[in-house]
Chain A
Amino acid sequence: MNTYQERQFDALGDVTRRALVERLRRGPLPVGELAQGLPVSRPAVSQHLRILKEAKLVRDEASGTRRYYSLDPNGFAMLRKYLDNFWGEALEAFQAKVEEK
Chain B
Amino acid sequence: MPERQLNPQNTMTMDVETHEIEPVRKSIRVRADAARAFRIFTEEMDSWWPRTHHIGNSPMKRVVVEGRPMGAIYTEQEDGTNCPWGSVLTWEPPHLFVMAWQIRPDWQYEPDLSKCSEVEVRFTPADDGTTLVELEHRGLTRHGVGCAKMREQVNSEGGWGALLGIFAGKVGGAA
Chain A positions within 8 Å of B, measured between CB atoms, are: 1-2, 5, 8-9, 12-13, 18, 21-22, 25-27, 71, 73, 75-76, 78-99
CB of A12 within 8 A of CB of B147, answer: yes
Q: A9-B148, A90-B50 are in contact. Are A81 and B137 (CB under 8 A)?
A: no
Please provide the chain B residues from 128 to 156 with a CB less than 8 Å away from any CB of chain A in the complex. Answer: 133, 135, 137, 140-145, 147-148, 150-151, 154
Chain B positions within 8 Å of A, measured between CB atoms, are: 10, 12-13, 16, 20-22, 24, 26, 28, 30-32, 36-37, 40-41, 44, 47-50, 53, 105, 133, 135, 137, 140-145, 147-148, 150-151, 154, 164-165, 167-168, 170-175
Interface residues of A, dominant DSSP: helix
Bound-complex Cα distance A98 to B49 (A): 12
CB of A75 within 8 A of CB of B147, answer: yes
Beta-carbon nearest neighbor of A17 in chain B = B148
CB of B50 within 8 A of CB of A93, answer: yes
CB of B28 within 8 A of CB of A94, answer: yes
B152 CB to nearest chain A CB (Å): 9
Top 7 A-B residue pairs of the complex, sorted by shortest distance between their CB atoms: A9-B151, A12-B148, A97-B48, A73-B21, A25-B144, A73-B20, A93-B48
Which residues of chain A have C-beta atoms less than 8 A from B50's C-beta?
86, 89-90, 93
B171 CB to nearest chain A CB (Å): 5
Bound-complex Cα distance A27 to B119 (A): 23
Beta-carbon nearest neighbor of B105 in chain A = A79
Given contacts A78-B147, A87-B26, A87-B135, 4 further A-B contacts (CB under 8 A): A25-B142, A71-B141, A76-B143, A79-B150
